[in-house]
C-alpha cells in the first residue's frame, strides 16, 4: 500500500513537471516580449491546450511586430546617446597586483548585488519609466532635418506610386540605420520632413553630439549617392542645426507625441527658403564652427529668426577632408576643390563688405569653373542686381 502511494506521488510530481515546464518557458518568453524583444521562437508543446495558447501568443507577437514599426525610436532605444558617449570615454587603466584582485572581487560582488536589485524592482521601473512621462528637458542638441522637397510631385508623376514608395522607403531605411549607428533618434516623421536629434547628457559645452550628427550626415550622403536606380526622382536636402532646445513628450491622457522646440528647430524651419539653391546639405554657424577643420564648407546665405531678429549665417556642408583615396587622386581633388572654394569664399567676403562689383567678378570666375553650381549662379544674379543700385 505504501509502495503504491509513493508511486502515485512520484507519477503526480513527474506529470506536474511535464505540464509546468512549457508554461515556465512561455513565461520567460513573455518577459522578453515585455521589453519589446519580439525575436522569440515558440516551442511546440505536447498538450493541445498549450498549443492553443502558444498559437495565440504567436499571433500576438506578429501583430506587435506590425505595430512596432510605428513606435518612435526614443521609446525603443532610450539610451542610444548614453551608450555612444560611454564608448567615447577614455579607457580606464586597470590596476595590477593584489589590490587589483581585491577590487575585482568587490566589483563582481557589487555587480551581482546590482543585478539582483534590478531584477527585484524591474516591474516598478517599467511602470515609472520616464520615456512615457509628459515632460520637457532643456538640452544642447544637434538637429538634422531631412526634406524630400518633391515627394508629392513624385507620387503624382508618371512613375508608378509603388516605385516612388520604394524609393522613399529606401531613404527612410538609410536614415534609420545611420541615426542608430551614430547615436541619434528620429524625433519627427511628418509628410516631406524627417527630423533626427542628437543630444548632450554631459556639460553644456560638450560638442560631441555635433560631431556624431555630422558623421551620420556624411554616411547618409554616401549611402544615398550609392543607390543605383535609373528612375530615381526624389530630391533630398538636409539641414544641420545646433543649439539649446526643449525636447520630450507632450500630450494628454490618451495620446502623446515627442517634440523638439527651440533655437535649432526654428533655424531649420527658416532655411526652407534656401531649398531653391538645391544644396544637398547646409548647416548653421554653430555647427560650422565645430566641424570646419574636418569638413570643407562655404557660406551661402544668412537668415533672420522671426522670434528674435537674430541673423544666422548658413554654410554648405562639404566633403570630409580626411577622405581616403589614392594619394594622387586625393591631391588632385583637394587642389581643385580648394581653388574653386577659395575663389568663392573671397567673393563672399567682398559681398559681405558691400563691394558688389569686385564680388561679381570673382563669383563670375567661380561660375565659369563650376557652371552647375546653383549657389554660385545665384550669387552672380544677386551681385548684378545690387551693383546696379
Q: φ and ψ at 271, to 5 degrees?
A: -80, -5
pLDDT digits (tens, 9 = 90+) for 186-203: 888 877 889 999 988 665
Which residue reads 538636409 in cell numbers?
238
- pLDDT above 50 (res 48): yes
* DSSP summary character for residue 200: -
Query: What is the grid cell recorded at 113?
Result: 548585488
- pLDDT above 50 (res 89): no
DSSP-H helix ranges across the chain: 2-34, 48-68, 73-76, 80-88, 98-120, 122-127, 151-156, 161-181, 208-225, 263-270, 285-291, 327-352, 356-369, 374-388
219-236 core/surface letters (b: 16 or more CB in 10 A; e: else): ebbebbeeeeeeeebbeb
Closest Cα to residue 224, out of 183, 181, 177, 158? 177
Give the pLDDT confidence score for residue 223 in this predicted structure.
93
The residues near 38 (Cβ < 8 Å, ≥ 6 apart) are 61, 64, 65, 68
- pLDDT above 80 (res 28): yes
Give the pLDDT confidence score for residue 7 in this predicted structure.
58
Q: Which of 25-34, 136-145, 354-363, 371-380 has the lowest mean pLDDT?
A: 25-34
Q: Which of 62-76, 87-101, 138-152, 371-385 has the lowest mean pLDDT?
A: 87-101
Decide if 183 contacts 133 (C-beta within 8 A): no
Identify the H or E element spanning 236.
Answer: strand 236-251
Give the pLDDT confidence score for residue 106 in this predicted structure.
41
| Cα separation, 100 vs 103, whole angstroms | 5
Closest Cα to residue 31, out of 123, 158, 155? 123
pLDDT digits (tens, 9 = 90+) for 99-154: 344 344 444 444 444 444 444 344 434 444 677 788 888 889 999 999 998 888 88
pLDDT digits (tens, 9 = 90+) for 310-347: 999 999 998 887 765 555 455 555 556 667 778 898 99
Structural domain spans, the chain: 2-68, 130-323, 325-389
Architecture of domain 130-323: 2-Layer Sandwich (3.30)
pLDDT bin (cut points 50, 70, 90) of residue 259 is confident
Amino acid at each position: 500500500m505504501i509502495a503504491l502511494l509513493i508511486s502515485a506521488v512520484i507519477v503526480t510530481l513527474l506529470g506536474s513537471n511535464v505540464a509546468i515546464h512549457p508554461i515556465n518557458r512561455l513565461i520567460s518568453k513573455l518577459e522578453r516580449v515585455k521589453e519589446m524583444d519580439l525575436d522569440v521562437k515558440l516551442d511546440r508543446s505536447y498538450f493541445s491546450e498549450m498549443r492553443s495558447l502558444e498559437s495565440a501568443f504567436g499571433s500576438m507577437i506578429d501583430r506587435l511586430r506590425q505595430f512596432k514599426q510605428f513606435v518612435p525610436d526614443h521609446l525603443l532605444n532610450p539610451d542610444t546617446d548614453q551608450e555612444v558617449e560611454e564608448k567615447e570615454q577614455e579607457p580606464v587603466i586597470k590596476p595590477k597586483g593584489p589590490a587589483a584582485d581585491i577590487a575585482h572581487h568587490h566589483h563582481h560582488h557589487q555587480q551581482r548585488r546590482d543585478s539582483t536589485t534590478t531584477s527585484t524592482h524591474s516591474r516598478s521601473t517599467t511602470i515609472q519609466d520616464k520615456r512615457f512621462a509628459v515632460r520637457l528637458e532643456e538640452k544642447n542638441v544637434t538637429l538634422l532635418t531631412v526634406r524630400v522637397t518633391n515627394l508629392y510631385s513624385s507620387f503624382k508623376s508618371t512613375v508608378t506610386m509603388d516605385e516612388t514608395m520604394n524609393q522613399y522607403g529606401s531613404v527612410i531605411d538609410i536614415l534609420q540605420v545611420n541615426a542608430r549607428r551614430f547615436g541619434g533618434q528620429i524625433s519627427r516623421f511628418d509628410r516631406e520632413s524627417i527630423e533626427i536629434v542628437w543630444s548632450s547628457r554631459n556639460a553644456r559645452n560638450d560638442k560631441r553630439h555635433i560631431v556624431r550628427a555630422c558623421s551620420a550626415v556624411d554616411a547618409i550622403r554616401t549611402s544615398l549617392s550609392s543607390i543605383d536606380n535609373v528612375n530615381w526622382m526624389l530630391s533630398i536636402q538636409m539641414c544641420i542645426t545646433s543649439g539649446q532646445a526643449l525636447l520630450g513628450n507632450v500630450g494628454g491622457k490618451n495620446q502623446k507625441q515627442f517634440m523638439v522646440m527651440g533655437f535649432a528647430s526654428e533655424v531649420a524651419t527658416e532655411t526652407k527658403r534656401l531649398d531653391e539653391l538645391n544644396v544637398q546639405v547646409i548647416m548653421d554657424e554653430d555647427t560650422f564652427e565645430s566641424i570646419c577643420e574636418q569638413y570643407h564648407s562655404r557660406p551661402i546665405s544668412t537668415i533672420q529668426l522671426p522670434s528674435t531678429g537674430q541673423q544666422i549665417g548658413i554654410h554648405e556642408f562639404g566633403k570630409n577632408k580626411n577622405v581616403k583615396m589614392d594619394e594622387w587622386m586625393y591631391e588632385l581633388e583637394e587642389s581643385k576643390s580648394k581653388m574653386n572654394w577659395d575663389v568663392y569664399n573671397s567673393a563672399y567676403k567682398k559681398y559681405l563688405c558691400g563691394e558688389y562689383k569686385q564680388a561679381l567678378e570673382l563669383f563670375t570666375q567661380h561660375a565659369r569653373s563650376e557652371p552647375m553650381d546653383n549657389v554660385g549662379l545665384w550669387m552672380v544674379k544677386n551681385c548684378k542686381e545690387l551693383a546696379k543700385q
